[in-house]
Amino acid sequence: MSHPHPELGPPPALAEGGLRITPLGGLGEIGRNMTVFEFGGKLLIVDCGVLFPEEEQPGVDLILPDFSSIRDRLDDVVGIILTHGHEDHIGAVPFLLREKDDIPLIGSKLTLALIEAKLQEHRIRPYALEVREGDRERIGPFDCEFIAVNHSIPDALAVAIRTPAGMVVATGDFKMDQLPLDGRLTDLPTFARLGEEGIDLLLADSTNAEVPGFVAPERDISQVLRQTFGRADKRIIVASFASHVHRIQQVLDAAHAHRRKVAFVGRSMVRNMGIARDLGYLKVPGNLVVDVKVLDDLPDEQVVLVCTGSQGEPMAALSRMANRDHQIRIVEGDTVILASSLIPGNENAVYRVINGLTRWGANVVHKGNAKVHVSGHASAGELLYFYNICKPRNLMPIHGEWRHLRANAELGQLTGIPKERCVIAEDGVAVDLVNGVAKIAGKVTAGYVYVDGLSVGDITESSLKDRRILGEEGIVSVFVVVDTATGKIVGGPNIHARGSGIEDEAFAAVIPKIEEGLSRSASDGVMETRQIQQLIRRSVGKWVSDTYRRRPMILPVVVEV
């Protein structure tokens, strides 16, 4: 089993007739999925998604893949294939098209509709090629065949990419639900045919590789939802991903059966469900869905609200309801259903929301106490079955944290794929397929690019470190007027603390230390502004550390006279 090494350098020029695969996101993390394929001097991108920030990334709205390794080669990009419409696969497309807006997008009807609605907000009108399962399109030097796969959103596709270097199959996100709500099965006969033709490299979804057995069918949830609706005496609030059309369909069916009206809350939820309804993917009984304002005129037992926030996102509707920061106020007896899985890393945020909702008297139903969600990703049993059908010569696990990638590689080995042909890479690691063998070739830059408001890429790790210090330790500002000739303080110092838990009056004890240091510096002839600031920062910082065992940010402001 090969794996990247921290000392990897830039990859050499691609061998004649070889195919290079470079993931720029999605490996070692859940989200930010993006993979670049290179052949014959041309690039093909599969997916371009975002990652949502965690607690240690305060103020960040989104995290993008790093486009720097392809920024000088955007004219070589022949297309972006989007496997499905989840944010972790399409969310970064607008940011890439800002840099070159005529790159063609290739995807299924629903996927393209979701991304085109998003691009309208950025005033980008892309060229789009709609494909469906069974289609085969030549995109530059890449011969691409699209295969139906089952996931937690309709119209998901895998893609087989043929070049003279060999055939690569990228699964996208998939599972093998044998009783899908829309009747659209993962196309195992086509995967078997491709396996007989010869799959040189398989890029396979790893998210559930540690989970034994098979994923339960989506339809198992319908009965649980109906029972939950039947027990609810007051309002029902359902939180789900804004693109989980199948789950919303089940909620609509349960609401209709119990004679309740449904309102969508949140811009992304309203937009996406409107698109799904218009395209026929969401079947809405007449007069079932109403505007949220209408609900005020209905009795609680006839109300269902569908919103975002199932992952504890701080600005999503459900989190704001839990914090009493939303027009919809949770009251005693409301039922809240979290109809989604827990994305790794979001556990604390989700439980914080659950506790907040429970505090106000809500009955919270979630995956931990009821079967209100099944995963959209293949478990270990399905992956084993899949590998035995596909019989790939090389395997590269994608879409998952390190533990998922390794577990997936071990599953491949159990089905007979040689250990040395199971390539575990990470973001930025280039894998070359040459003469039927996949090997790590080098590494390109693939760090996090942070979106903060209108700023893209301006926030650095150093900026986030400063924010964490401010959030955890607070700030101490020191304003002082200094006579540079004598080193004496002629005004101040005025010291104020915020968020540090230290009273301003306490800093009287450090003023003599500042005065002593300035006097010593003046006698040494060292009185430049930057050096005075450093002296104040060290004096105050050491005193705070020795006295309070704290490390706030020290912000000295020096005025010279």
| Phi, psi (degrees; rounded to nearest 5) at 141 | -85, 5
Q: Is 375 annotated as a binding residue?
A: yes
Written as one string, the DSSP assignment of 24-91 is: EESBSBSS--EEEEEETTEEEEE----B---TTSTT--EEE---TTTGGGGGGEEEEE-----HHHHT
DSSP-derived secondary structure letter, 510 = G
- DSSP H helical segments within 198-346, as ranges? 220-231, 245-257, 267-278, 317-322
For residues 539 and 185, give the distance between their C-alpha atoms in angstroms, rounded to a whole number: 68
Q: Is 525 annotated as a binding residue?
A: no
Helix (H, G, I), strand (E, B) or coil at 167: strand
For residues 374 and 382, give the distance between their C-alpha atoms in angstroms, rounded to a whole number: 14
Q: Is 374 annotated as a binding residue?
A: yes
Q: Are 220 and 226 in contact (CB under 8 A)?
A: no
For residues 373 and 46, give the distance between their C-alpha atoms in angstroms, rounded to a whole number: 28
| Phi, psi (degrees; rounded to nearest 5) at 410 | -65, -35
Q: Are 106 and 161 in contact (CB under 8 A)?
A: no
Structure tokens at 359: 């505090």
| Phi, psi (degrees; rounded to nearest 5) at 193 | -65, -45
Is the bond preceding 493 in cis, omega lying within 30 degrees of 0? yes
Q: Which residue has the tokens 């960040």?
A: 60
- DSSP H helical segments within 330-477, as ranges? 347-359, 380-390, 402-414, 461-473
**Residue 166, Cα to own-chain centre: how many angstroms?**
31
Count Cβ atoms within 10 A of the Cβ of residue 164 and give its class: 0-12 exposed, 13-18 middle, 19 or more buried. exposed
- DSSP H helical segments within 68-216, as ranges? 87-90, 93-97, 109-121, 188-197
Q: Are 111 and 90 in contact (CB under 8 A)?
A: yes
Q: Are 378 and 174 in contact (CB under 8 A)?
A: yes
Q: How far is CA 528 from CA 40, 193, 523, 535, in A?
A: 58, 75, 13, 11
Tell me the sheet residues that pair with 496: 477
SS3 content of the chain, % helix, strand, coil (to 5): 35, 25, 40
For residues 53 and 40, give the distance between their C-alpha atoms in angstroms, rounded to a whole number: 36
Tell me the sheet residues that pair with 161: 144, 168
- DSSP H helical segments within 295-346, as ranges? 317-322
Q: Which residues are annotated as a binding site?
A: 373-377
For the annotated binding site for substrate, the residues are: 373-377
